[in-house]
Structure 1
């Protein structure tokens, strides 16, 4: 949703077409995740492991929420309308491709990531890896814009947006590390080890991924209170500190895990 500022106040304006599209796609991805949770309840099977209904559930929910969150959060980022429209459109397409590939492989009862057993499986795995690279590029562009120009919004929104993007990039880098390490193991003939190798970094990836929604949401909710600007700013700072500690703890866990 686009934001206008006047005399220190903020007001929402009607979403642009690309924003409406992103919100709609985000909702569909979330519904896909919930639908596959119902499939899991009926079909059963393992929840963990490279072949399970957990993957279309968690990826559908995560990508749907992330797409919707970034559509909203980037409305506070000072970026040209055309550039933001292109970036959001690419992000939406990428989210669909990622979730679709993972869901397809779940229904085929084969692993989605790091699976190079057949040419088709390799094509899916590589498309997911390339999609991850596109995700890093798009979100890095948004992060760069957030740090180049102070984001707009109520008290505390600027540091919340910047910290959210910083922690999001940590999550994306941890995801890239999982894929790179897994591909290396796969290429050297250690397929089962490749599947297991992603486990230590998953908490770091998950915790950092949603900070970009949580922190700006805290700042927005605080703007609706009667608290002073100083109290709101300090509360946002405390939330940033908590998220940072959680990411550091997840990173430490990844280092000490066998």
Structure 2
């Protein structure tokens, strides 16, 4: 575990300025999420619904993890420095706007999404929607960069990065579907139905977003095992058993979450599917961590500096 921590620490100590800013902002988001979780525990109140401390909690934690993960994953890619700074800068501005506005509306005790009651609330709703669009463009551009030749990366890590960005975009598309459903319903005069109708895809949205941490993470950890670079270079296109297992489990979990969203409920079969695919994913994580903790170590790919 100390080897993993040492490797991860280098991404801060050797990180580019924009990456270090991103890591610091991600930490602030995480602290904000934890602080609001503490407020929820202290003052109580509903966890569900359009007005609750759940929103700043989940947005803080989710955006913190996403900014941290996407910045880390993007650090492996060969990208022009100006383009990297521009894409990460846009990502940080949009993410900060999303978390800040969600938090402001929670403290005002009014809904953050689908709220057209006042000009200010309407503006917040529109900025949140626009921020989602910016995130899709910026992260889509990073995904496109990952599809270009990345000769300094081990094949498995390159594949894991592509899968991770693809998963993240799937999560953003699911979020856009949620916004679309809610907007149609609230414009039709039924705001309560809007919050429920959009909320059925929450699980799929969350699973998609955090694929950017899981799949590249498994690929990176797989590369910390005992393999020399000549073996890596000769295994182009290969996928380790751990990454193969993690990908199958993750895609199965995402599919089950999408089915649950489309149905608008969790039935027994979907719950069973989530349990099984989640177990497969956890098994992959356990296997790769166990292999690393046995003390076998080699870095699977170089961060492009």
Give the TM-score normalised by the residue count of structure 1.
0.91
Which stretch has the larger CA shift, 200-209 or 248-257? 248-257
Q: How does 1:174-253 map to 2 (within 5 A)?
A: 174-226=174-226, 233-253=240-260
Moved over 3 A (4+): 227-232
Are 1:24 and 2:31 counterparts?
no
Give 1:153 shift. Answer: 2.9
Within-5 A mapping of 1:98-137? 98-137=98-137
Distance in 2 of aligned mates of 1:242 and 1:138: 27
**Structure 2: gaps spanning 5 or more residues:** 1-9, 266-305
How many aligned residue pairs are there? 248
The alpha-carbon distance between structure 1 residues 157 and 186, as it changes in their structure 2 partners (threshold 3 A), is: same
Structure 1 unaligned segments of length 5 or more: list them: 1-10
Per the alignment, residue 61 of structure 1 pairs with 61
Q: How far, CA to CA, are the matches of 1:26 and 1:151 in structure 2? A: 29
| Greater displacement, 77-86 / 55-64 | 77-86
TM-score normalised by L of structure 2 = 0.77
Residues 100/45 of structure 1: CA separation in 2 closer, same or farther (3 Å cut)? same
CA displacement 1:190-226 (0-9 Å, x = unmatched): 2111111112111110001111111111111121122
Query: Post-superposition shift, 1:154?
Result: 3.5
Deviation (angstroms), 1:165 = 1.1
Q: Structure 1 residues 140 and 48 mapped into 2: Cα distance closer, same or farther (>3 Å)?
A: same
1:76-100 deviations in Å (ceiling 9; x for gaps)? 2222111011100111111110000
| 1:74/1:142 contact within 8 Å kept | yes
How many Å apart are 1:151 and its aligned residue?
Answer: 7.0
Alpha carbons 2:168, 2:211 under 8 Å: kept: yes
CA separation of 1:150 and 1:103: change in aligned 2, threshold 3 A: same
Superposed CA offset, 1:127-181 (max 9, x none): 1011011011111101111113347433511111111111111110010011111
Superposition pairs of residues 28-67 of structure 1, within 5 angstroms: 28-67=28-67
